[in-house]
A and B are shown apart, each in its own frame.
Chain A
Amino acid sequence: METTGAGIPGPMDLIPRHYFFYTNAMNEPFPLKTVADTLAYFGQNMGALGPELQLLLWALIGCMILEVLLPDQSKRLTGYAALGGIAFASFHLYKIYVNGFLGVFFNETTVIDPFSIFFKALFLAAALLTVLLSLRFMEIENEQSGEYYALILLATIGMMVMVSAIDLLTIYIGLELMAMSFYILVGYLRRNRLSNEASLKIFLLGAFASGILLYGFSLLYGLTGSTQLSVLARQLAAAPAQNREMIFLAVVLVIVGLGFKIAAVPFHMWAPDAYQGAPTPITAFLSVGSKAAAFTVMLRLFLGSFVSVKGWFLVLGVVALMTFVVGNLAALLQTNVKRLLAYSSISHAAYILLGLLAGREFGGIAASSGYLLIYTFMNFGAFAVLILMRRKGIPGDQIADFNGLIFRHPVIASLMLIFLLSLAGIPPTAGFIAKYMVFAAIIKAYMAQPSAMLLTLAIAGAVAAVVALYYYFLIVKAMFTGESQAEDLPALSFSPGVTAAIVITAGMTMWVGIFPDTIMRMAAYAASNWGAW
Chain B
Amino acid sequence: MITTTHYLVLSAIIFSIGVIGVLTRRNVLIVLMSIELIMNAVNINMVAFSHQFKDMVGQAFAVFVITVAAAEAAIGLGIVIALFRNRETVHVDEIDLLKG
Residues in chain A within 8 A of chain B (CB atoms): 1, 9, 13-16, 19, 168-169, 172-173, 176, 180, 183-184, 187, 190-191, 193-194, 196-201, 203-204, 207-208, 211-212, 214-215, 217-219, 221-222, 225-227, 272-273, 276-277, 333-336, 339
Contacts and interface: CB of A to CB of B under 8 A. Distances in A.
A203 B49 CA distance: 29
A221 B78 CA distance: 33
B45 A203 contact: no
Contacts, number: 136
A16 B58 CA distance: 11
Contacts of A227: 57, 61
A333 B99 CA distance: 12
Contacts of A15: 56
A217 B38 CA distance: 13
Among B46, B82, B97: residue with most chain A CB under 10 A: B82
Interface of B: 8, 11, 15, 18-19, 22, 28, 31-32, 35, 38-39, 41-42, 45-46, 48-49, 52-58, 60-61, 64-65, 68, 71-72, 75-76, 78-80, 82-83, 86-87, 92, 95, 97-100
Contact of A194 (B49, B53, B75, B98): B98
A3 B27 CA distance: 50
B84 to A, nearest CB: 9
Among A1, A201, A225: residue with most chain B CB under 10 A: A225
B43 to A, nearest CB: 8
Nearest to B47: A218
B54 A14 contact: yes
A180 B31 CA distance: 17
B55 A14 contact: yes
A335 B100 CA distance: 9
30 contacts: A1-B54, A1-B55, A14-B56, A16-B55, A169-B61, A172-B61, A173-B68, A180-B71, A193-B97, A196-B82, A196-B83, A197-B95, A199-B79, A199-B82, A200-B28, A204-B28, A204-B76, A208-B22, A208-B35, A211-B35, A214-B39, A214-B42, A215-B15, A215-B42, A221-B45, A221-B46, A222-B48, A225-B53, A227-B61, A334-B100
A18 to B, nearest CB: 10
Contacts of B52: 222
Nearest to B76: A203
Given A14-B55, A203-B76, A221 B82 contact: no
Contacts of B32: 204, 207
Contacts of B100: 272, 333-336, 339
A198 B100 CA distance: 14
A363 B26 CA distance: 46
A225 B100 CA distance: 45
A255 to B, nearest CB: 16
A221 B28 CA distance: 31
A311 B74 CA distance: 38
Contact of B97 (A187, A190, A194, A208): A194
A211 B18 contact: yes
B39 A187 contact: no
A196 B95 CA distance: 10
Contacts of A334: 100
A193 B87 contact: yes
5 residue pairs, one from A and one from B, having the closest CB atoms: A211-B38, A218-B45, A273-B98, A222-B49, A196-B83
A221 B68 contact: no
Contacts of A272: 98, 100
A109 to B, nearest CB: 10
Contact of A215 (B45, B55, B78, B79): B45
A426 B35 CA distance: 44
Among A168, A190, A191, A272: residue with most chain B CB under 10 A: A190
Contact of A208 (B38, B56, B61): B38
A9 B98 contact: no
A273 B87 CA distance: 17
B92 to A, nearest CB: 8
A208 B34 CA distance: 9
Contacts of B31: 204
Contact of A219 (B45, B87, B95, B97): B45
A20 to B, nearest CB: 11
Contact of B79 (A196, A214, A333, A336): A196
A171 B76 CA distance: 22
A499 to B, nearest CB: 31
A203 B22 CA distance: 12
Contacts of A169: 57, 60-61, 64
B79 A203 contact: yes
A446 B64 CA distance: 42
